[in-house]
Structure 1
Amino acid sequence: MEGFDPLFFAEVTLAGLGSGALLALTGLAFVLIYKATRVVNLAIGEMLMVGAYLFFAFAAGLGLPAWGAIPLALAGGGLLGAAIERAIIRPMLGESPIAIFMVTIGLGSVLVGLVEIVWSPNPTQLPDFIGAAPVFLGEAYVSRKIAVGFAVACLVIAGFLLAFRTWRGGVALRATAADQAAAYSCGIDVPAVFCAAWALAGVAAAAAGILVGAVGGISPTMGVFGLSALVVVIVGGLDSVAGALVGGLVVGLLEAWSGTFLGGEYKIVATFSLLLAVLVVRPYGLFGTAEIERL
């Protein structure tokens, strides 16, 4: 094709994969909660934002090195997830899904308000803990922050996939997701599994928030990133960890290609066109579980 630059296309593709990996990591938080509790948590983006601000507080506010601030921020994200499940979600067990869904929307607004009160509504930058030296794959250039984000996201998701198959807690989560009544009968503490799922989702969201903040800075509006991740998990399957990874990479590539070669205004059109196509062909997502109900 005349005018086609393979090197430029490779660089755009690498950037899309990096962005897609961050979407996939955020999507993992959606999947962990939905897989165990069947709750669509629309406050994931705001939990991501809180994780980024916790890292900012530990690294910039307290002056801790990155290796000390990151674990503390991840732990804070996990505690936030567990606290939300215990104080807000668990008392609503038995309520309609739409009621719980609306509660998570309100929760997101509360978290944004708290962050604005504590840290102000002004955007800011995270302390640089990754570096700015470019990464070259052959002749193709990719930002170091994007490359590190891609590597970390893939490792974390691979770790969760392995844990679900080998770790006792992962097996308990899979059993609870498959049939809560059967899990109870097998002696599994289902409420504890619910709390663990929210805590792990909080850790995943905090990790995504730190990486997203390292790339583009932090602000109380960065939770919007979670809406893009919701598209990812609907495409990949709301209950599929592998689907979150594949869906994130597909959406990341689609946004990078459409935004670069068609124009930035086409990114949303391309993304939601993909969403509509998947919903028409496979309403449960590319890797989601098909649920059949007898009427």
Structure 2
Amino acid sequence: MDFFLEVLAGGLLAGVMYSLVAIGFVLIYKASGVFNYAQGSLVLFGALTFVSLVERQVAPWLAFAITLAALVAIAFAVGRLVLRPLVNRPPIVLFMATLGLSFILEGAAQLVWGAQVHGLDLGIDDKPFALAGVMVSQFDLFAAATAAVLVAALSLLARYTRFGLSLRAVADDPLAALAVGVKLPYIWAVVWALAGLTSLVAGLLWGARLGVQFSLSLVVLKALPVLIIGGFSSIVGAIVGGLIVGGSEKLAEVYVGTLVGGGIENWFPYVLAMLFLLVRPVGLFGEPAVERV
């Protein structure tokens, strides 16, 4: 039983890492109704900029501030140059725009900082310790606490502020929101800036775990089943989906992998996501679209 709890706890804490990436997708989807393919590139850009500045003897707190400022500048540029001209266009058009933006960001990162692999030390030990009789990783606990703070802050912002109300209006109908006085470019810019913040945090944590390299952008592929299970429009759903994916993939690898072979954790989340698409396409916390005729 103790071994089962340790595997489950490790999977749940790993799932939080997936959720950190998925939160950025949720923010963009709520504002524009499009799957932002460039989120993985933002994760890479943020981590690569931070670690490159630190290696040039910039203080970590200043490197974080400079990187965040760069991501905010990218957010305002995207809102003005990409999203504003594409208002009310079909979702596939916006998706293709984010696809192009992804390659632009990766190319810019390589042009400025180079393509070499960087190690990233955040000063957090990745040593296991006993918690209620279960061995867990200190690094994973730190990532879980970070995700909890982000989710709480973003949930309060979306639910109890005027900005959150404007965000929900934009998500329902951008042109109608624009007609009643919502400043669409401002909303998009702030949302992309928040997505940049979450991508920076996720990039630092994933970079510390895997190293800062260009394959880091592929972490978005693990966020996809998280979004399908939790729902594309729910911040809480991103966390719950991450926990489900993380816990189920580790349990499947340990208990099913011994019967059919290893490598199950690489594809089991996608099987789970396909089952959700068949049973509940909007995810656990997604909101079904309501159309009136």
Q: What is the TM-score of this pair, normalised by structure 1? A: 0.89
Count of equivalent residues: 289
Alignment of 1:206-245 (within 5 A): 206-245=200-239
Partner of 1:91: 85
- The alignment status of 1:59 with 2:54, answered yes or no, reads yes
Structure 1 residues 253-275: Cα deviation after superposition (integer angstroms, max 9, x where no partner): 12222233333421233211111
Give 1:168 deviation, angstroms: 2.3
Equivalent of 1:272 in 262, 270, 284: 270
Q: After superposition, what is the alpha-carbon deviation per residue over 1:197-248, rounded to whole angstroms, capped at 9, x for unaligned?
A: 1111111111111111112211011111012112211221111111111111
Shift of 1:181: 4.3
Deviation per CA, 1:112-169, whole angstroms, max 9, x where unpaired?
2232333333322113332345443133222222111111012101111111122222
- The equivalent residue for 1:39 is 34
Aligned to 1:19: 14
Asked if the contact 2:28/2:192 (under 8 Å) is kept, the reply is yes
Deviating beyond 4 angstroms after TM superposition, the runs of 4 or more aligned structure 1 residues are none
Corresponding position: 1:255 with 2:262: no
Identify unmatched segments of 5+ residues in structure 1.
1-5
**Between the two proteins, what is the percent identity of the paired residues?**
36
Kindly report the root-mean-square deviation, in angstroms, between the aligned alpha carbons of the 2 structures.
2.1
1:8 counterpart = 2:3: yes
Larger mean Cα displacement after TM superposition, 114-123 or 201-210 = 114-123
Check the 8 A contact 1:60/1:127 in 2, yes or no: no
Counterpart for residue 127 of structure 1: 121
Query: Are positions 1:188 and 2:182 aligned together?
Result: yes
Deviates more, 1:86-95 or 1:277-286: 86-95
Conservation of the 8 A alpha-carbon contact between 1:145 and 1:214: no
Contact 1:18–1:150 (CA<8 Å) still a contact in 2? yes
Residue of structure 2 equivalent to 1:50: 45
Partner of 2:101: 107
Partners of 1:116 and 1:181 in 2: CA distance = 37
Opposite residue 224 of structure 2, the aligned amino acid is L
CA distance in 1, matches of 2:57, 2:228: 39
Residue 147 of structure 1 pairs with residue 173 of structure 2: no
Partners of 1:30 and 1:230 within 8 A in 2: no
Whether the aligned pair in 2 keeps the contact of 1:146 and 1:215 (CA below 8 Å) is no
Aligned to 1:281: 279
The corresponding residue for 1:290 is: 288
Q: What does residue 3 of structure 1 align with?
A: none
TM-score by length of 2: 0.90
CA distance in 2, matches of 1:180, 1:90: 11
- Per the TM alignment, residue 95 of structure 1 is displaced from its structure 2 partner at its CA by 3.1
Structure 1: distance between partners of 2:146 and 2:44:
18
Displacement of 1:188 after TM fit? 1.9
Letter in 1 for 2:279: V
AA aligned opposite 2:21 = T
Tell me how far apart the structure 1 counterparts of residues 226 and 76 of structure 2 sit (CA, whole Å): 24
Distance 2:4 2:217 in 1: 29
